[in-house]
Amino acid sequence: MKPNPVVWFEIYVQDMQRAQAFYEHVFQCQLEPMKQPDGLAPGTEMLFFPGDNGASYGANGMLVKMAGVPSGGGGSLVYFSCADCAIEQARVQAAGGRIDKPKFSIAPHGCIALVVDTEGNCIGLHSMQ
Protein backbone atom coordinates (compact mmCIF):
# COMPACT_ATOMS: atom_id res chain seq x y z
CA MET A 1 0.00 0.00 0.00
CA LYS A 2 1.23 3.51 -0.79
CA PRO A 3 1.89 5.93 2.10
CA ASN A 4 -1.30 7.89 1.26
CA PRO A 5 -3.73 5.31 -0.16
CA VAL A 6 -6.76 7.63 -0.38
CA VAL A 7 -6.90 9.18 -3.85
CA TRP A 8 -10.51 10.36 -4.11
CA PHE A 9 -13.56 11.12 -2.01
CA GLU A 10 -17.19 11.96 -2.69
CA ILE A 11 -19.61 13.61 -0.27
CA TYR A 12 -23.21 12.89 -1.25
CA VAL A 13 -25.75 15.69 -0.91
CA GLN A 14 -29.47 16.23 -1.44
CA ASP A 15 -29.44 20.00 -2.09
CA MET A 16 -26.37 20.96 -4.16
CA GLN A 17 -26.84 24.72 -3.86
CA ARG A 18 -27.17 24.52 -0.06
CA ALA A 19 -24.18 22.15 0.25
CA GLN A 20 -22.06 24.29 -2.07
CA ALA A 21 -22.79 27.38 0.04
CA PHE A 22 -21.84 25.49 3.22
CA TYR A 23 -18.48 24.18 1.95
CA GLU A 24 -17.51 27.41 0.20
CA HIS A 25 -18.27 29.40 3.36
CA VAL A 26 -16.53 27.08 5.83
CA PHE A 27 -13.40 26.49 3.73
CA GLN A 28 -13.33 29.88 1.95
CA CYS A 29 -12.92 28.24 -1.46
CA GLN A 30 -14.70 28.06 -4.81
CA LEU A 31 -16.10 24.68 -5.91
CA GLU A 32 -15.99 24.04 -9.65
CA PRO A 33 -18.67 22.23 -11.70
CA MET A 34 -17.79 19.04 -13.57
CA LYS A 35 -19.43 18.01 -16.82
CA GLN A 36 -21.37 14.82 -16.26
CA PRO A 37 -19.45 11.82 -17.61
CA ASP A 38 -21.21 9.20 -19.73
CA GLY A 39 -22.78 6.37 -17.79
CA LEU A 40 -24.07 8.34 -14.80
CA ALA A 41 -27.75 8.80 -14.04
CA PRO A 42 -29.26 11.84 -15.78
CA GLY A 43 -29.44 14.86 -13.50
CA THR A 44 -26.35 13.97 -11.49
CA GLU A 45 -24.64 17.14 -10.25
CA MET A 46 -20.96 17.30 -9.29
CA LEU A 47 -18.76 20.07 -7.87
CA PHE A 48 -14.98 19.66 -7.41
CA PHE A 49 -13.06 20.87 -4.40
CA PRO A 50 -9.98 22.90 -5.42
CA GLY A 51 -6.93 20.69 -5.87
CA ASP A 52 -3.84 20.00 -7.90
CA ASN A 53 -4.78 16.55 -9.26
CA GLY A 54 -2.66 14.63 -6.78
CA ALA A 55 0.56 16.61 -7.33
CA SER A 56 0.86 17.12 -3.56
CA TYR A 57 -0.22 15.41 -0.34
CA GLY A 58 -3.93 14.73 0.05
CA ALA A 59 -6.82 13.47 -2.03
CA ASN A 60 -9.04 15.30 -4.49
CA GLY A 61 -12.80 15.05 -4.22
CA MET A 62 -16.22 16.51 -4.90
CA LEU A 63 -19.80 16.99 -3.78
CA VAL A 64 -22.20 14.71 -5.67
CA LYS A 65 -25.99 14.87 -5.96
CA MET A 66 -27.25 11.63 -7.52
CA ALA A 67 -30.74 10.19 -7.59
CA GLY A 68 -31.15 7.29 -5.19
CA VAL A 69 -27.96 8.00 -3.23
CA PRO A 70 -28.66 9.32 0.28
CA SER A 71 -26.54 11.78 2.22
CA GLY A 72 -25.99 11.64 5.95
CA GLY A 73 -24.49 9.19 8.39
CA GLY A 74 -22.37 6.58 6.73
CA GLY A 75 -19.45 4.39 7.56
CA SER A 76 -16.67 6.77 6.52
CA LEU A 77 -15.39 10.12 7.76
CA VAL A 78 -13.49 12.58 5.57
CA TYR A 79 -11.03 14.94 7.30
CA PHE A 80 -10.14 18.31 5.77
CA SER A 81 -6.70 19.76 6.46
CA CYS A 82 -6.71 23.22 8.10
CA ALA A 83 -4.04 25.58 9.45
CA ASP A 84 -6.10 25.84 12.66
CA CYS A 85 -9.34 23.84 12.65
CA ALA A 86 -10.89 26.32 15.11
CA ILE A 87 -11.11 28.84 12.25
CA GLU A 88 -13.21 26.58 9.99
CA GLN A 89 -15.19 25.33 13.00
CA ALA A 90 -16.15 28.94 13.76
CA ARG A 91 -17.77 29.25 10.30
CA VAL A 92 -19.89 26.09 10.48
CA GLN A 93 -23.02 27.35 12.24
CA ALA A 94 -23.23 30.53 10.13
CA ALA A 95 -23.15 28.26 7.06
CA GLY A 96 -26.10 26.19 8.32
CA GLY A 97 -24.18 23.27 9.84
CA ARG A 98 -23.61 22.23 13.44
CA ILE A 99 -20.64 21.38 15.61
CA ASP A 100 -20.65 17.77 16.79
CA LYS A 101 -17.36 17.83 18.75
CA PRO A 102 -15.52 21.14 19.16
CA LYS A 103 -11.76 21.29 18.55
CA PHE A 104 -9.81 18.95 20.82
CA SER A 105 -6.27 17.63 21.00
CA ILE A 106 -5.20 14.28 19.58
CA ALA A 107 -1.62 14.89 20.73
CA PRO A 108 0.93 14.34 19.35
CA HIS A 109 -1.00 14.38 16.06
CA GLY A 110 -2.51 17.85 16.33
CA CYS A 111 -6.18 18.69 16.86
CA ILE A 112 -9.50 17.78 15.30
CA ALA A 113 -13.10 18.97 15.31
CA LEU A 114 -16.14 17.08 14.04
CA VAL A 115 -18.89 19.06 12.32
CA VAL A 116 -22.09 18.20 10.45
CA ASP A 117 -22.85 19.84 7.10
CA THR A 118 -26.25 20.98 5.82
CA GLU A 119 -26.88 17.51 4.33
CA GLY A 120 -26.31 15.53 7.54
CA ASN A 121 -22.76 14.42 6.65
CA CYS A 122 -20.27 14.41 9.51
CA ILE A 123 -16.83 15.70 8.40
CA GLY A 124 -13.60 16.13 10.29
CA LEU A 125 -11.36 19.17 10.50
CA HIS A 126 -7.67 18.51 11.27
CA SER A 127 -4.81 20.86 12.10
CA MET A 128 -1.44 20.59 13.78
CA GLN A 129 -2.23 23.54 16.07
In a domain, 89, yes or no: yes
123: left (phi over 0), alpha (psi -120 to 50) or beta: beta
Task: Give the residue among 41, 38, 39 at the shortest CA–CA distance from 12.
Answer: 41
Contact 113, 86 (CB under 8 A): yes
User: Residue 54 has what pLDDT?
Assistant: 58
How far is it, in rounded angstroms, from Cα 129 to Cα 120?
Answer: 27
Q: The pTM is what? A: 0.88
In a domain, 3, yes or no: no
User: Residue 53 has what pLDDT?
Assistant: 62
In a domain, 76, yes or no: yes
Look at the chain and report how many structural domains it folds into: 1
User: Residue 59 has what pLDDT?
Assistant: 83
Provide the residue range defining the domain that includes 121.
8-127
Task: Write the pLDDT tens digit of every residue in 24-69.
Answer: 999 999 999 988 777 888 889 999 998 876 566 778 888 999 888 8
CATH code assigned at 78: 3.10.180.10
In a domain, 2, yes or no: no
